[in-house]
Amino acid sequence: MQTLYLIRHTKPDIAPGICYGQLDLDIAASFENEANLILRCLPQLELVIASPLLRAHRLGEFIAQEQQCPLRSDARLMEKHFGAWEGKPWDDIPRHEIDAWAADVLDYTPPGGESAQHLMQRVQEFMRDLAQLPQQHIALVAHGGSIRALLALLADMPLAGTLNWAMEYGAVVCVKSCRG
């Protein structure tokens, strides 16, 4: 049985109210304080796997260095791709597109982006590979969307059931995952 520590990246360097999905944002000035708080929540780890997006990867590097354990990068942990919406204020996204997404959160694909179902498929493939690893204590540094997808898979529940769960920057969720 693996013990997984699902960690949402720290606060990104972007104004509130902007859709950012897979935009490769840097970390906010509060990074060191936030990262040290996260470290205090973690036991000794054997492996850190991080999304390659800078805001998650920087935290993964910090944790791996402090824990003196290996760091791997895996694109399957990236946030949902919001396509043409990325970098735009949510208020500037056409209302009919937001309404279409709200009507079908799991299957709607923003222009040039991906659906939540596609995100689930990526994460499911990642989890199959993760189950084959020998390490027992693993931190996964990712994003709100990919962490909700991981939790839905681990709890064997629909992704829709996780969409209203609060996932603050720097949140750490510990779960036990049966292999196989």
- Secondary structure of 108-151 in the HEC alphabet? CCCCCCCCHHHHHHHHHHHHHHHCCCCCCEEEEEECHHHHHHHH
As a dihedral over the C-alpha atoms of residue 179, residue 158, residue 83, residue 141, rounded to 10 degrees, the angle is -40
Q: Which domain holds residue 126?
A: 2-177
CA distance 108 to 89: 19
Q: Is the pLDDT of residue 163 over 60?
A: yes
Q: pLDDT by residue (tens digit) across 40-53?
A: 999 999 999 999 99
Q: How many CA atoms lie within 13 A of 115 on its CB side?
A: 15
- Model pTM? 0.95
Name the residue type at position 154. Answer: L
- Indicate the average pLDDT of the chain: 95
85-139 pLDDT tens trace: 999 999 999 999 999 999 999 999 999 999 999 999 999 999 999 999 999 999 9
| pLDDT above 80 for 177 | no
pLDDT value for 3: 96
Beta strands 172-177 and 2-8, pairing class: antiparallel
How many structural domains is the chain composed of?
Answer: 1
CATH number of the domain bearing residue 131: 3.40.50.1240
Q: Is 175 helix (H, G, I), strand (E, B) or coil?
A: strand
Q: Inform me whether the pLDDT recorded for 22 exceeds 80.
A: yes
34: left (phi over 0), alpha (psi -120 to 50) or beta: alpha
User: Cβ(98)–Cβ(38) under 8 Å?
Assistant: no
Shortest CA distance to 8 belongs to which of 45, 60, 44? 60
Q: Summarize the confidence of residues 54-83 as an average pLDDT.
A: 98
Q: Token digits for 167? A: 């996932």
Q: Any residues with CB less than 8 A from the CB of 9 and at least 6 apart, and which?
A: 27, 51, 53, 55, 56, 58, 59, 141, 142, 143, 169, 170
Find the range with the poorest average confidence among 71-80, 122-131, 144-153, 161-170. Answer: 161-170
In angstroms, the CA 62 to CA 36 distance is 9
